[in-house]
Structure 1
Amino acid sequence: MKQAARLLFRAIVLKRRVLSFLSLFLLCGYAHAVAISDIYDVEVPVSGQDPKERAEAVEKGAGMVMDRVAGNSGWRNVLDAAVLAEQAPRLLEEYSYGYAVVDSGSGPRRRLVLKAHYSAQGFENLLSQYKVPVWGRNRPQVLVWMAVDGDRGREILGEGASHHLVAAVKYSAQRWGVPLLLPLMDLQDASSLNTSDLWGFFAEPVEASSTRYSHDSILMVRAYPRSGRWSGLWQLRVSGQKIAEESVEADTISAMADKMMESVALSLAHKYAVNLGADAQGDEVAVEVSNVTDFRSYADILKYLRQLAPVKKVEPVYVGEDIVRFQLKLNGYPEQLAEHLALQPRLRPELGPSTQEEVGRRLYYSWAGDR
């Protein structure tokens, strides 16, 4: 009798663990990640092409790239400024001069800039050396709903709005490497979401209005001038859950937008950044993929797994008629792997016949290709 009770208890625990782990994938949904191709490219305003100013711009640009790759400015607490100054010229791969529209705090204007391209491998090696997690190129698409209180009262700002807040948020998002999408605010948006619901951060109508857009997360923002300064509140939601909320205040709209986007980037980096150091403590998992019907599919899966940030090493261990099993060594944990897999629905999670000991250590998927 006791043996039967123990077996029943183990079955219940196993079921709960399986459902808990699978729910992580279901909550993630099938997302719409954006691969940022210019994450290691920056434009630094300069007054001329003097060698001394160029050296300073190269160092400043390296700091901007470091912000993007780390997802926040906290790396400055562990990496000395002198180290970055020494490494910046070595990290630089190419540069040129040109003109670009820059938001310097008083509004966008055309400036002479140093256009610099840095080494991806160099930055990853440097951050790994100092045990700073790296946020990869594949990043979640953030749909931004912004309400502002101004001379015309409260209004929702869409993609075509001329308000300075739109330009400031876009500029800061690009600086921090956060892919942004603004709503069209056409008749459909205007009829589905009223300003008071957004201003009050009522999630249900905002989530409902967001269904027409491809996105991974939702950022709700309200901003208003107060005593010569700008104040605001933002809330970040992922898979229907609030993961961060914070108030922000600054002297200008641009400064407020930059503070806000740094905090948003930090929240997302906490979720997706991984430690790439050689001594990083990570798990190993077996990934079994079905619907592998030809060699091309096999090769695509292998390439796809290898480029995921949490994956340190991929090794095929079994090939069947339409099933392939891989052994993955991770930089992080299986749950973090799940978050990254959910950003691109090429592998669809399935409930496989795992034993209690295998839950979280053996994952089952079906290959969906590029559909």
Structure 2
Amino acid sequence: MSLAVMACCVAKAKSNVAKAKSLKFSEKTTLWLPRQGLLLLACSLLFLLPQLSMASQVNDLYQVEVPVSGQDSDDRRQATFRAMSEVLVRVTGQRQTLSNPAVKRALQKATNYLQGYSYHRDEVDGQRQLMLVTQFNDKAITRLLRDNGLGIWGENRSTTLMWLAVDDGGRRQIQSSGKSTELSENIGQVFDHRALPLIFPVMDFDDNLTISAVDVWGLFSSKLTEASVRYGSESILGGRLSVSKTEKGERYNGRLVLLFRNQRYDASIEALSARGVALAMADLVGNTLSRHYAVTAGSSENPIMRIDGTGTTKAYAGAIAYVEGLTAVRNVMVKRVSGDQLELELTIDGTVAQLSDSIALERQLQKVEPNRQPVGGESYLHYRWRGR
């Protein structure tokens, strides 16, 4: 059964907001028939929806394309500086990374971190623009961040659902995935550049039964949470924005709220352009989620991981390769192999909770309740291999 169909039968979700944090963004800051018959119809229509997942695999984290003036070494050096800056923000999830002294020094030698590059021309605002495509060495970037105590956020990332109500001339509407606007295009571009998976609601029959523009405008946590159940996202970004006409073009004022892991983070928007709003949204989401998921080198932990269902050579090799590829895992040692059971001792950066959360975003390992207590205080993780 899909998440959308399951939503038809899910009881009302309750919001348990335990903590609130407030931020402020402005242009000067550097830094959304009978009742049974209707329900049956809604459930039937939802079969047409795409499968939406709470997590997304972000590809090409270390590849960036930037505009460049020419092909000489000085042009390439300046463009590589900008490209590496974008990669560092992507991988850490935070723009503050660029203020780190060691990162600043590394950026001055950005070409040393290049693995390869190429050129091509693209259509930008009706003009043919020369673009530099850069591929950075992921191991070198990882080493730079780990050596300086900066968190590293892997390719598997929680998808954020955006509930946005916009008041333009007294008419309030919820931004949907099926209608593109200048604001939604800017939001999509910025989130894509930051490698932050984002979706807008489809605003179909079921959504309109569950939530209204009044609910989104009020940023009511309980309504936003209830309407988000069908999408399966634990990261919910709500926003209310009013549009005003100025000499500099359209400007937006309003408020944002991010609901994540039973916490609420609020931020205000003051006289921002469409791109400024998008940057503020990306900062709020990136800063919050990366603090939870990004792993930082430090005192290592050595949890024991048991994986069932690895009785074949293919499953055995696949499970080990998968665990070795997890961002938090620094080293893997096989402790025991018995039948279709594999037991590993891991050396990880970050915490066991972060490792568990990262695995939960994917589908390769299915969690199994441990059948014995940890020995000697060690953390014990139990999964079943589901394959790639």
Could you tell me how far apart the structure 2 residues matched to 1:198 and 1:110 are? Answer: 41
Please list the CA deviations of residues 60-103 of structure 1 after superposition, one character each: whole Å capped at 9, or x if unmatched. 1111111111111222332357523432111222131321557x
How has the CA–CA distance of structure 1 residues 100 and 362 changed in structure 2, closer, same or farther, with 3 Å as cutoff? farther
Pick from 363, 366, 387 the counterpart of residue 345 of structure 1. 363
Aligned to 2:322: 304
TM-score by length of 1: 0.80
Match of 1:304, as an amino acid? Answer: Y
> 1:314–1:326: 8 Å Cα contact kept in structure 2?
yes
Instruction: Find out whether 1:163 has 2:181 as its counterpart.
Output: yes
How has the CA–CA distance of structure 1 residues 368 and 73 changed in structure 2, closer, same or farther, with 3 Å as cutoff? same
Instruction: Find out whether 1:83 has 2:105 as its counterpart.
Output: yes
Please list the CA deviations of residues 146-168 of structure 1 after superposition, one character each: whole Å capped at 9, or x if unmatched. 11111361111112223211011
Instruction: Find out whether 1:64 has 2:64 as its counterpart.
Output: no
Instruction: Find out whether 1:244 has 2:262 as its counterpart.
Output: no
CA shift at 1:313, angstroms? 1.0
Aligned to 1:7: none
Match of 2:335, as an amino acid? Answer: V
Could you tell me how far apart the structure 1 residues matched to 2:378 and 2:190 are? Answer: 37
CA shift at 1:300, angstroms? 1.7
- SS in structure 2 opposite 1:352? coil
> 1:248–1:260: 8 Å Cα contact kept in structure 2?
no
Aligned to 1:222: 240
How has the CA–CA distance of structure 1 residues 111 and 316 changed in structure 2, closer, same or farther, with 3 Å as cutoff? same
CA shift at 1:31, angstroms? 6.1
How has the CA–CA distance of structure 1 residues 69 and 82 changed in structure 2, closer, same or farther, with 3 Å as cutoff? closer
How has the CA–CA distance of structure 1 residues 134 and 159 changed in structure 2, closer, same or farther, with 3 Å as cutoff? same
> 1:176–1:262: 8 Å Cα contact kept in structure 2?
no
Match of 1:95, as an amino acid? Answer: S
> 2:169–2:243: 8 Å Cα contact kept in structure 1?
no
Could you tell me how far apart the structure 2 residues matched to 1:83 and 1:185 are? Answer: 47
Match of 2:315, as an amino acid? Answer: S
Could you tell me how far apart the structure 2 residues matched to 1:80 and 1:316 are? Answer: 36
> 2:152–2:296: 8 Å Cα contact kept in structure 1?
yes
Aligned to 2:61: 39
- SS in structure 1 opposite 2:259? strand
Could you tell me how far apart the structure 1 residues matched to 2:103 and 2:362 are? Answer: 36
CA shift at 1:249, angstroms? 3.0
Pick from 159, 170, 181 the counterpart of residue 199 of structure 2. 181
Could you tell me how far apart the structure 1 residues matched to 2:124 and 2:144 are? Answer: 31
- SS in structure 1 opposite 2:265? strand
Aligned to 1:202: 220
How has the CA–CA distance of structure 1 residues 212 and 310 changed in structure 2, closer, same or farther, with 3 Å as cutoff? same
CA RMSD across the alignment: 2.7
Match of 2:166, as an amino acid? Answer: V
Please list the CA deviations of residues 121-140 of structure 1 after superposition, one character each: whole Å capped at 9, or x if unmatched. 22112212222111111111
Could you tell me how far apart the structure 2 residues matched to 1:237 and 1:297 are? Answer: 38
Q: How many residues in Structure 1 have an aligned counterpart in Structure 2?
A: 332
Instruction: Find out whether 1:268 has 2:289 as its counterpart.
Output: yes
CA shift at 1:368, angstroms? 2.9
Match of 2:273, as an amino acid? Answer: T
Return 123-132 or 47-56, whichever deviates more.
47-56
Fraction of identical pairs, as percent = 27
Unmatched segments (≥5 aa) in structure 2: 1-51
